[in-house]
Amino acid sequence: MPFSWMPRVIAGEREGPKDFPQLKNDTFLRAARGEEIEHVPVWCMRQAGRYLPEFRESRAGKDFFETCQSPEACCELTLQPLRRFPFDAAIIFSDILVVPQAMGMDVQMVAGKGPTFPEPLKEPEDLQRLQVKVDTAKELGYVFRAITLTRHKIEGKVPLIGFSGAPWTLMSYMIEGGGSNTHSKAKRWLYQHPEASHMLLKMLTDVIVEYLLGQVAAGAQALQVFESHAGILGPAEFKEFSLPYLRDIARRVKDKLKEAGQDVPMIVFAKDAHYALEELSQSNYEVVGLDWTIDPLSARERTGGKVSLQGNMDPCALYAPKERISDIVKKMLEGFGTRGYIANLGHGVYPDMTPENIGAFVEAVHQHSKQMIKQI
Ligand SMILES: Cc1c2[nH]c(c1CCC(=O)O)Cc1[nH]c(c(CCC(=O)O)c1C)Cc1[nH]c(c(CCC(=O)O)c1C)Cc1[nH]c(c(C)c1CCC(=O)O)C2
């Protein structure tokens, strides 16, 4: 007997669960597929975050991962930015580190320090501590419930994006035990224990595939895979320890969705991996997310029209006066062009940014792109 929150996905049914409110603004989904749009869609990584007073109020005095485990809290935090700004997509409030937790690791969010693993992986023997076969419905069901609830509460306003961390980024957290400048503990594994590294990356890939499929079954309408620590790898290490797993994830998720007659756009965001742009554009993802170190025109040239692009304004440009933000957005749109493009920042919004300037960013994308499209 399925739980009441479980979506009824019938094989062959294209749109997925039937009882969700109808989608009113599908601009983001059309742009992801390179289809015609009336304006360039825009959303921001970390759009649900501490820069919003209402977010700080909701989160006050509560443990971060307990918040992640509450579908009601995740739903509310996901919807908050949509009440202020006409974003064209929402991303479910959660965290990439719920996956190592599901595999049996303890992770805490320490104020002023960030995510912390009290007992990180030190040597290959430590892999035995990890849960290999993870029952994602049991361990991560709270994320699926948050997605389903949010799909109802969002009332079809915009599509809801699900996400996961990519294997290398999660591996580096699991070994470093938290943030790091050099990632030398995790990189030591790549050079000293390549076999154990591949074993761990494979284990993570298997869980991530199930996790992303569970998110789609719960109602996610697009998926983003965050390889936030790609930049710490060089081209050769990226090709060996990141790219094959990114490809495998997209291939396996897409194959399974196809069987169910579903088609959900996937975005890969490998931060600082400008050296791998060509490979990323041929890695089974519809959209490649870009950080701000890549020039829009050259990104277009190097990806050769094979994929849609997402990004890439320097988040710090949000510190500029509004008129300057508008000029920067205009140049960015001219560089990328309006087709097959989703406007975003090159990384997440920072806590000290003013909501007003995020509003100016969103408005500038909509205004300039509408004018550009009219002139075509
Ligand atoms: C590396 C990473 C993490 N988490 C995530 C990544 C990949 C994206 C990236 O490269 O930034 C992903 C993430 N984390 C969060 C989201 C929610 C959706 C959104 O983008 O709005 C997403 C997509 C919420 C969050 N995750 C976190 C916050 C802030 C803490 C809070 O709410 O109390 C939010 C809104 C915490 C977090 N979680 C993590 C870090 C480094 C931090 C910051 C710690 C700090 O600043 O003290 C790990």
What tens digit of pLDDT does each residue of 284-340 get? Answer: 999 999 999 999 999 999 998 889 999 999 999 999 999 999 999 999 999 999 999
Pocket flag, ligand 1, residue 108 (CB < 6 Å): no
Say yes or no to pLDDT of 1 above 70.
no
Say yes or no to pLDDT of 15 above 80.
no
Among the listed residues 144, 137, 203, 136, the one whose alpha carbon sits nearest the alpha carbon of residue 168: 203
| Neighbouring C-beta atoms of residue 332, cutoff 10 Å | 22
In degrees to the nearest 10, what's the CA dihedral of 300, 303, 305, 306?
-150
Averaged pLDDT, 164-178: 98
- Assign 356 a pLDDT band (cuts: 50, 70, 90): very high
In degrees to the nearest 10, what's the CA dihedral of 28, 33, 37, 40?
50
Asked if residues 117 and 99 have their Cβ atoms less than 8 Å apart, the reply is: no
CA distance 205 to 317: 35
Three-state DSSP at 327 gives helix
CA distance 14 to 257: 10
Percent of the chain with pLDDT over 70: 95
Nearest CA owner, ligand 1 atom 43: 114
Nearest CA owner, ligand 1 atom 15: 95
Residue positions annotated with a catalytic role: 46, 50, 59, 95, 173
- Assign 24 a pLDDT band (cuts: 50, 70, 90): very high
What tens digit of pLDDT does each residue of 227-258 get? Answer: 999 999 999 999 999 999 999 999 999 999 99
pLDDT given for residue 2 in this prediction: 39
Asked if residues 43 and 89 have their Cβ atoms less than 8 Å apart, the reply is: yes
CA distance 75 to 86: 17
49 CA → ligand 1 middle, Å: 8
Task: State the pTM of this model.
Answer: 0.95
115 CA → ligand 1 middle, Å: 9
Pocket flag, ligand 1, residue 178 (CB < 6 Å): no
Helix ranges (H only) for 304-354 are 322-336
- Assign 18 a pLDDT band (cuts: 50, 70, 90): low
| Neighbouring C-beta atoms of residue 12, cutoff 10 Å | 9
Please state the domain extents for the chain.
6-375
CA distance 44 to 352: 15
Asked if residues 51 and 349 have their Cβ atoms less than 8 Å apart, the reply is: yes
Pocket flag, ligand 1, residue 351 (CB < 6 Å): no
Q: Which fold has domain 6-375?
A: TIM Barrel (3.20.20)
Asked if residues 186 and 175 have their Cβ atoms less than 8 Å apart, the reply is: yes
* Among 94, 109, 227, residue to substitute to test ligand 1 (most atoms within 8 Å of Cβ): 109
Instruction: Classify residue 275 as exposed, middle or buried by CB count within 10 Å of its CB (0-12, 13-18, 19+).
Output: middle
114 CA → ligand 1 middle, Å: 9
Pocket flag, ligand 1, residue 163 (CB < 6 Å): yes
Backbone angles phi, psi at 3, to 5 degrees: -70, 155
Average model confidence (pLDDT) across the chain? 95
- The tokens of 144 are what? 């699926």
- CB neighbours of 125 closer than 8 A, spacing ≥ 6? none
223 CA → ligand 1 middle, Å: 16
CA distance 233 to 247: 17
Structure ipTM over 0.90, yes or no: yes
What is the DSSP-derived secondary structure letter of residue 197? H
Pocket flag, ligand 1, residue 49 (CB < 6 Å): yes
Pocket flag, ligand 1, residue 107 (CB < 6 Å): no
CA distance 46 to 32: 19
* Among 95, 171, 215, 269, residue to substitute to test ligand 1 (most atoms within 8 Å of Cβ): 95
Averaged pLDDT, 148-177: 98
Pocket flag, ligand 1, residue 228 (CB < 6 Å): yes
Specify the long-range contacts of residues 314-322, CB closer than 8 Å, at least 24 apart: 314/345, 314/346, 315/345, 315/346, 315/347, 315/348, 315/349, 315/350, 315/353, 316/350, 318/345, 318/349, 318/350, 318/353, 318/354, 318/357, 318/358, 318/361, 319/353, 319/357, 320/357, 322/356, 322/357, 322/360
Beta-strand (E) ranges in the chain? 90-91, 108-110, 114-116, 160-165, 222-227, 266-270, 287-289, 308-313, 341-345
What is the DSSP-derived secondary structure letter of residue 343? E
Averaged pLDDT, 73-77: 98
Asked if residues 226 and 96 have their Cβ atoms less than 8 Å apart, the reply is: yes
Instruction: Classify residue 58 as exposed, middle or buried by CB count within 10 Å of its CB (0-12, 13-18, 19+).
Output: middle
